[in-house]
């Protein structure tokens, strides 16, 4: 008889390599100013990564600069704000007069909190 060889370590290594390549490609594609063009027989779409925000650390009309707390709040209310922004063009999901990375971290933590709470409530209902 031929002994069976366990392939689990090779699968894990292959998965790790594939994910590493995917992450590297995503990071390279998200560099500021990078552009990807997708063409199908019916249409062409150009995807552009966001560039620098010229309003960072510049106060708004009331002299305020959004920091981590405002970013957290804006991340928490992002799903509702998205829906409202479809009906009112004066409503935006993201405050451009912000403190940069500090605001971005708060925003992403707020969005992650909403997603996590939805996942917990969904599991509790089962």
pTM of the model: 0.63
- The 10s digit of each residue's pLDDT in 8-46 is 666 777 778 878 777 776 666 656 666 777 777 888 877
Q: Are residues 10 and 68 in the same domain?
A: no
Q: Are residues 108 and 77 in the same domain?
A: yes
Q: What is the DSSP letter of 3?
A: P
Q: Are residues 73 and 29 in the same domain?
A: no
Residue pair 92/85 in contact by the 8 Å Cβ criterion: yes
Q: Measure the CA–CA gap between 80 and 72, rounded to whole angstroms.
A: 14
Q: Are residues 58 and 117 in the same domain?
A: yes
Q: Are residues 46 and 56 in the same domain?
A: no
Q: Are residues 57 and 94 in the same domain?
A: yes
Q: Are residues 72 and 45 in the same domain?
A: no
Q: Measure the CA–CA gap between 9 and 108, rounded to whole angstroms.
A: 34
**Beta bridge partner(s), residue 15:** none
Q: Are residues 58 and 115 in the same domain?
A: yes
Q: Are residues 39 and 63 in the same domain?
A: no
Tell me which residue range forms the domain holding 13. Answer: 1-50
Q: Are residues 81 and 31 in the same domain?
A: no
Q: Are residues 26 and 68 in the same domain?
A: no
Q: Are residues 32 and 64 in the same domain?
A: no
Q: What is the DSSP letter of 46?
A: E
- The 10s digit of each residue's pLDDT in 53-112 is 888 888 888 999 999 999 999 999 999 999 999 999 988 888 889 998 999 999 999 999
Q: Measure the CA–CA gap between 49 and 103, rounded to whole angstroms.
A: 19
Q: Measure the CA–CA gap between 51 and 49, rounded to whole angstroms.
A: 6
């Amino acid at each position: 008889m031929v002994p069976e060889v366990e392939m689990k370590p090779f699968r894990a290594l292959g998965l790790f390599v594939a994910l590493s390549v995917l992450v590297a490609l995503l990071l390279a594609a998200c560099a500021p100013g990078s552009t990807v063009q997708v063409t199908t027989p019916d249409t062409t779409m150009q995807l552009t990564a966001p560039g620098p925000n010229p309003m960072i650390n510049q106060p708004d009309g009331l002299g305020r600069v959004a920091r981590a707390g405002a970013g957290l709040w804006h991340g928490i209310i992002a799903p509702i704000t998205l829906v409202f922004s479809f009906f009112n063009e004066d409503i935006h999901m993201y405050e451009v007069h912000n403190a940069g990375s500090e605001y971005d971290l708060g925003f992403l933590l707020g969005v992650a909190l909403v997603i996590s709470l939805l996942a917990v409530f969904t599991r509790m209902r089962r």
